[in-house]
Amino acid sequence: MPQRMSLDQLDKFLGDARGRVDGVAQEVSHVQLQFTSAHKANQTMHDATLNDLSLRAAYDLNALPADIRKAFDARVVQERETLDKRRQELLSQIVPKAEQIADGLLQRAQKATADIKLVNPRLNAQEEKLKASLAEAEAELNRLNQEIKRRSGCLTVFINFFKISELDRQRHKLLGRMEENAKALKGVREEWAKDKAQYTTEESELQKQWQQANVDAARAREELAQLSDDARRKELALRRALVYVFDHWETALQPAGNPLIDEINQMVHFNLAQNAYEQGLGKVAGLIALLSGVSQGLQSIGQSVDALIKEQGMHSAYLKPVSVTVDDGVIQFHKQWDDLRGKLKDEQALAQHPGEFSALFDAQVQGPLAEANIKRMFDSLSGALTAATQGWKG
């Protein structure tokens, strides 16, 4: 039945609910770790068995069971068509494009080098001109200083007063020119340092890109060379067909006791396990995302309740205490968390049987945690809060 709660009681209810949701999410994250570890272990065994089985079958295709041989014969035709199409693409598009990219990067690098060489003489000439001008100004300043000193003797200072003043004005004017000259020289050197740093950075980046482009072009040419060899292309098509068929075979064969049949059945086991783990990992991520959404939603409503509590405390003189009616559906919705968490406790067992987790996930998202139920719960909470505080605005 519905429950009437004060704002403080509702705040506690929401906090407790969010804590239980986060607790379930934590258990799911533990399951995720176990799934990831088990998936990697199964993948290692899967890949080793697939490689061994493909090599064994390639030596004697006639030893393959009829159903697998039929699937192989159909697949090898597709693989030959795929490889021939790939060879045509390499020949007409991929190799020329890769070489074009490498050549383009080389041209850019050469242009950058040419540009810096053009900048260097220009800046060097400016620097030399400014340095020469500065040297001339320094020599003139020394001459003025010497003249002022000579005319500043005790016996002649009054006689030469006006001349000394004129020389001093010349000196200050010269000092101003020298300061501007020094600033210009500093600017030239800074420009050169900036251009050099930019060139060095661009050169390094272009070199990396050019090296990678050459590697890509070399790989493309090597692949084209292999696929242009008819015998090599047929051999590759055969191997790819075997790998594809065994990697997708999911039906156990009889009779057991034959080494080849036994290894194929082992391959079936690993294939089915991979499918289960991949499906389970997807559903683990889905459940974590769903629980995170519920937790964030509860946090958002909780923040609204906290704001109302503060407002009520600040204006308690004329805001009457609020009583929020929480629907029974909301209360029942949040009673599911402890039970769900209990079902996830034994993550090691679930990791051994990923199908059980997938079944649990499906039962939850199609039942208690269906999107409609989650929306209904939040709508009910928001509606109850709005109805309870409506009088504050009336």
The pLDDT tens digits of the residues spanning 259-299 come to: 889 999 999 999 999 999 999 999 999 999 999 999 999 99
Average pLDDT (59-88) is: 92
| Residues 6+ positions from 164 with CB-CB distance below 8 Å | 148, 151, 152, 157
Greater model confidence, 231 or 75 = 75
| pLDDT more than 70, % of the chain | 71
Q: Which fold has domain 3-58+256-388?
A: Substrate Binding Domain Of Dnak; Chain:A; Domain 2 (1.20.1270)
C-alpha distances (whole Å) from 175 to each of 102, 144, 184, 210 are 55, 11, 14, 51
Whether residue 155 is predicted with pLDDT greater than 50 in this model: the reply is no
CA distance 246 to 244: 6
Domain boundaries, the chain: 3-58+256-388, 68-237
- Local structure of residue 93 (DSSP, 8 states): I
The whole model's pTM is what? 0.67
pLDDT computed for residue 117 by the predictor:
53
Partner residues linked to 6 by β-bridges: 323
Shared fold status for 3-58+256-388 and 68-237: no
Q: How confident is the model at residue 216 (pLDDT cuts 50, 70, 90)?
A: confident
Instruction: Please check whether residue 344 is in contact with residue 31, taking contact to mean a CB–CB distance below 8 angstroms.
Output: yes
Radius of gyration of the chain (CA): 41
Would you call 367 helix, strand, or coil by DSSP?
coil
Greater model confidence, 231 or 107 = 231
Whether residue 333 is predicted with pLDDT greater than 50 in this model: the reply is yes
Classify domain 68-237 by CATH number.
Answer: 1.10.287.1490
